[in-house]
Structure 1
Amino acid sequence: MSERRGGLRGRVRQLAREVAKFGAVGGAGLLVNLAVFNVVRHLTELPVVRASVLATVVAIAFNYVGFRYFTYRDRDKSGRTREMTLFLLFSAAGLVIENGILYAATYGFGWDTPLQSNVFKFLGIGIATLFRFWSYRTWVFRAMPAAPAVPPVAPSVGRPLPRTPAELPAEPDPVGR
Structure 2
Amino acid sequence: MEFRSRLRRLAALGSRFLVVGAVSTLIEVGVFNLLVFAWGWDVVWAKIIASLVALVNAYIGNREWTFRHRDRRGRVSELVLFVLANLVCTALGAAIVWAGVGIAQLALGREPGAVAVNVVNLVSIAIIVLVRFVLYHRIVFRAAPAPAAGPADRP
Unaligned runs of 5+ in 2: 106-110
Counterpart check, 1:138 vs 2:133: no
DSSP 3-state at the match of 1:33 = helix
Q: Which has the larger radius of gyration?
A: 1
Deviations 1:45-65 (A, max 9, x none): 211221121111111121011
TM-score by length of 2: 0.86
Unaligned runs of 5+ in 1: 151-159, 161-177
Deviations 1:109-160 (A, max 9, x none): 425311111000000011111111001100000113335679xxxxxxxxx9
Q: 2:29 aligns with which of 31, 34, 38?
A: 34
Deviations 1:49-98 (A, max 9, x none): 21121111111121011100010011111322221111111101111111
Where in structure 2 are the equivalents of 1:22-101 lying within 5 Å? 22-101=17-96
Q: Which moved more, 1:107-116 or 1:69-78?
A: 107-116
- Runs of 4+ more than 4 Å apart: 147-150
State the match for 1:12 in structure 2. Answer: 7
Richer in helix (by share)? 2
Alignment coverage as a number of residue pairs: 148
The amino acid of 1:63's aligned partner reads A
Distance 1:78 1:104 in 2: 37
State the match for 1:164 in structure 2. Answer: none
Deviations 1:19-66 (A, max 9, x none): 100011011111111011112222212112211211111111210111
Counterpart check, 1:114 vs 2:109: no
The structure showing larger relative contact order (alpha-carbon pairs under 8 Å, at least 6 residues apart) is: 2
The amino acid of 2:143's aligned partner reads A
Conserved in 1, the CA contact under 8 Å of 2:104 and 2:116?
no
State the match for 2:124 in structure 1. Answer: 124
Distance 1:10 1:108 in 2: 44
Aligned-residue Cα RMSD (Å) equals: 2.2
The amino acid of 1:61's aligned partner reads V
